């Protein structure tokens, strides 16, 4: 299958999102604005990409933990 050089550029733009690269950094690397990057490449994101991003956030050990209300804290044994 033949491809054009721009196919590699488009593939990198999609992969940069899959890898979690900041949109502003990806846009700067590719030489365009964030608005153009989002307009051009975010259309390629599907449910699979959204699920990947969600799982990456949930599995991040540095993510903030949700606060507990009083009824939840009673379920946890004191240390």
pLDDT (tens digit per residue) in 47-79: 988 898 889 888 989 988 888 877 655 555 555
Which has the closest alpha carbon to 9: 24, 31, 25? 31
Residue among 14, 52, 55 at smallest CA distance from 26: 14
Rounded mean pLDDT, 27-35:
95
Q: Is residue 39 scored above 80 in pLDDT? A: yes
pLDDT band at 46 (very low <50, low <70, confident <90, very high): confident
Q: What's the pTM?
A: 0.60
Instruction: Name the DSSP class of 17.
Output: H
pLDDT of 64 reads 87
């Amino acid at each position: 299958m033949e491809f054009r050089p721009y196919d590699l550029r488009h593939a990198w733009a999609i992969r940069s999102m899959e890898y979690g690269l900041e949109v502003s950094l990806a846009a700067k690397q590719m030489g365009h604005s964030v608005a153009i990057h989002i307009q051009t490449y975010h259309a390629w994101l599907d449910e699979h990409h959204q699920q990947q991003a969600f799982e990456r956030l949930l599995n991040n050990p540095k993510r903030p933990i949700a606060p507990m209300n009083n009824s939840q804290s009673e379920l946890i044994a004191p240390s």
